[in-house]
Amino acid sequence: MNDAMAFLLWTKGPMLNLALGIFALGVAVRLVEILILGRAKNYAEPRAPEWIGGAKALVSRTLPDPGTFRRAPFDVLIGWLWHIGFILVLLFFVPHVELIRGVLGFAWPALPTPLVDVSTALTILGLIAALVHRLTHPVKRFLSTGEDYLIWAVVFMVVLTGYLSYHRLITPYPLALGMHILSAEIFLILVPLTRLSHLFTAFIARWYTGAHFGRKGVEA
């Protein structure tokens, strides 16, 4: 029990600082790496201002076009299911909201815990479905590298350990909670180091593509 408590305190103390430090520094480096490359000046007369197309694409790419949905409904639904579930739990579970309040000094109302519980279970099922799909779909399987499976495992561990801790399925509790916090810290560290970076770079990508098409009068 004392060892478990020491482990928990370590994850909540030095390890948290380390993870947040690597995350912040890493994200900053990645942003600089990307943005420093810039873009060549565009002399072609635009049909519409770039920023309108860029801003629209930030949001619009979240929804697939009807043809894509028809051809790949499983990809879209599973992707949506676990992304939404993950974000919902991350931002609206009572202890998470309290953590945010502790760090930022303010927060928002949490969702009822039973709802978050269902959401977590669905996220776990969604992630398992996504893994099976990755292992069986000819294109996904072909494209996938070790890194894709690594980031799947880390995301899965974050959600799974959270679920197990809440339901007291691992004892002692401090060990369970410590494992959950450590998983989240590994996740944070891997954000700038792997394709998990899409959680911030996807919006840069969407902006550029939306702007590029938007100036030509095409909604992208």
Partner 1 sequence: MSTLAIRERTLEQGAPAQGLSLARGLAAWRAELDAPIAAFFSSCVHCGLCAQACPFYVETGDPRYTPIYKLEPLRRLWESEFTLLGRIKSWLRLNQPVTDALLAEWEELLYDSCTMCGRCSMVCPVGNDIAYMIRKMREGMVQSGHAPEGLIAASSRAIRTGSPMGLQWKTLEVQIRHVESSTGLQVPIDREGAEYLVLLSSMEVINFPEYLEAITRIFAHASISWTLSTQCFEATNAGVQIGSKDIARTLVERVVAAAEQLKVSKVISPECGHAYTAIRWEGPNLIGRSYPFKVFHIIEVLDELRASGRLRLEGKETDRLSMHDPCNLARKSGVIEQQRNLIELIAEQFVDFEEHGRYQWCCGAGGGVSSNERAEALRLQAFKRKKAQIEAVAPARMVTMCATCRTQLEEGIETYNLNIPVVGLTELIAEHLVDKEPA
Interface residues toward partner 1, by CB under 8 A? 29-30, 33-45, 47, 57, 61-62, 64-65, 67-68, 71-72, 75, 79, 137-145, 148, 193, 195, 197-198, 201-210, 212-213, 216-220
State the number of CA atoms in the 13 A half-sphere of 184 facing the CB: 20
Residue nearer to partner 1 on the CB measure, 27 or 124: 27
Residue nearer to partner 1 on the CB measure, 43 or 106: 43
Residue nearer to partner 1 on the CB measure, 163 or 203: 203
User: Is 151:143 a contact under the CB 8 Å cutoff?
Assistant: no
DSSP 8-state symbol, 31: H
Q: CB 216 → partner 1: shortest distance, Å?
A: 5
Residue nearer to partner 1 on the CB measure, 96 or 216: 216
Q: CB 185 → partner 1: shortest distance, Å?
A: 19
Residue nearer to partner 1 on the CB measure, 167 or 198: 198
Give the span between the Cα atoms of 29 and 162, in whole angstroms. 30
- The pair of three-digit structure tokens given for residue 197, joined into one six-digit string: 């970076």
Give the span between the Cα atoms of 111 and 131, in whole angstroms. 28
Q: CB 77 → partner 1: shortest distance, Å?
A: 13
Q: Is the peptide bond before 138 cis (omega within 30 degrees of 0)?
A: no
Q: CB 129 → partner 1: shortest distance, Å?
A: 14
User: Is 38:207 a contact under the CB 8 Å cutoff?
Assistant: no
Q: CB 192 → partner 1: shortest distance, Å?
A: 8
Q: Which of 91, 172, 157 is CA-nearest to residue 124?
A: 157
Residue nearer to partner 1 on the CB measure, 37 or 104: 37
- C-alpha distances in Å from residue 198, one per residue of 63, 74, 158, 187, 195: 17, 21, 18, 13, 6
Per DSSP, the three-state class of 40 is coil
Residue nearer to partner 1 on the CB measure, 160 or 211: 211
Helices (H), 93-145: 94-104, 113-136, 138-143
Q: CB 51 → partner 1: shortest distance, Å?
A: 15
DSSP 8-state symbol, 168: T
Q: CB 14 → partner 1: shortest distance, Å?
A: 24
